[in-house]
């Protein structure tokens, strides 16, 4: 547990310094045509934080407010990482209890279902922290990178989460189990892709 807290703290500082360096670099440029928003954003970011986004009547688009938005972004992405680890831990618990269910231990069914609810909630919160965070100043992931791989794997594990939940009730257990394993593998790989 202490190792996870240390790693999360270390990663948080790394994100802080990277964002601050980028912001300082933009401040140092003397031209006034510096873009405050990246040309490409997630649709959720564009709806909320774009030039005509829902947040713009409340938070005007200027350098001072973008600095504040980047701090909000940093906090949301740190929360995204922490919730990701919590979700992964819940998935491990589900895997353990699920395997006991397959062996015929029906006493564990309520625990497995409780873990499923917890995982669904933490997974949704994890996704929300990413989808609704203010956009970065610059999108740098044009080539295959750790972040780009993380984003591609998120498509796989999102589809897997939906499939696992749909198959939980009435589908053959083997299909549910296969979807759960694929979801866990892609979710774990997404976490590993940004850690190493």
How far apart CA 109 and CA 168 sit, in angstroms, is 12
This prediction's pTM: 0.79
Q: Are 78 and 19 in contact (CB under 8 A)?
A: no
Apex 169 CA angle, 88 and 86, nearest 5: 10
Q: Are 151 and 52 in contact (CB under 8 A)?
A: no
Read off the tokens for 12. Answer: 């948080």
Alpha-carbon torsion angle 54, 59, 60, 66, nearest 10: -110
pLDDT of residue 4: 43
How far apart CA 134 and CA 76 sit, in angstroms, is 9
Three-class DSSP category at 29: coil
Residues 6+ apart with CB under 8 A from 146: 193, 194, 196
pLDDT of residue 141: 63
Residue 168 phi, psi (nearest 5): -65, -35
pLDDT of residue 49: 95
Would you give per-residue pLDDT tens digits along the chain (196 residues)? Answer: 455 454 445 445 455 444 555 555 555 443 433 589 998 899 999 999 999 999 999 999 999 999 999 999 999 999 999 999 999 999 999 999 999 988 988 899 999 999 999 999 999 999 999 999 999 988 776 788 888 899 999 999 999 999 999 999 889 999 999 999 999 999 999 999 987 6
Residue 137 phi, psi (nearest 5): -70, -40
pLDDT of residue 33: 37
Q: Are 108 and 183 in contact (CB under 8 A)?
A: no
Q: Burial of 171 by CB count in 10 Å (0-12 exposed, 13-18 middle, 19+ buried)?
A: middle
């Amino acid at each position: 547990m202490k190792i996870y807290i240390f790693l999360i703290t270390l990663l948080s500082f790394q994100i802080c310094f990277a964002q601050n360096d980028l912001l300082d670099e933009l401040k140092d440029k003397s031209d006034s045509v510096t873009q405050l928003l990246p040309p490409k954003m997630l649709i959720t970011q564009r709806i909320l934080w774009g030039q005509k986004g829902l947040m713009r009547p409340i938070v005007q688009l200027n350098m001072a407010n973008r600095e504040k938005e980047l701090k909000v972004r940093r906090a949301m992405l740190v929360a995204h990482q922490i919730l990701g680890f919590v979700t992964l831990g819940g998935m491990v618990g589900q895997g353990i209890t699920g395997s006991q269910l397959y062996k015929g231990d029906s006493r564990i069914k309520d625990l497995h279902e409780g873990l499923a609810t917890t995982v669904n909630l933490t997974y949704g919160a994890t996704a929300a922290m990413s989808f609704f965070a203010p956009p970065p100043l610059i999108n740098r992931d044009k080539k295959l990178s750790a972040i780009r791989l993380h984003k591609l794997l998120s498509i796989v594990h999102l589809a897997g989460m939906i499939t696992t939940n749909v198959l939980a009730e009435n589908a053959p257990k083997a299909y549910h189990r296969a979807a759960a394993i694929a979801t866990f593998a892609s979710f774990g790989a997404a976490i590993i892709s940004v850690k190493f």
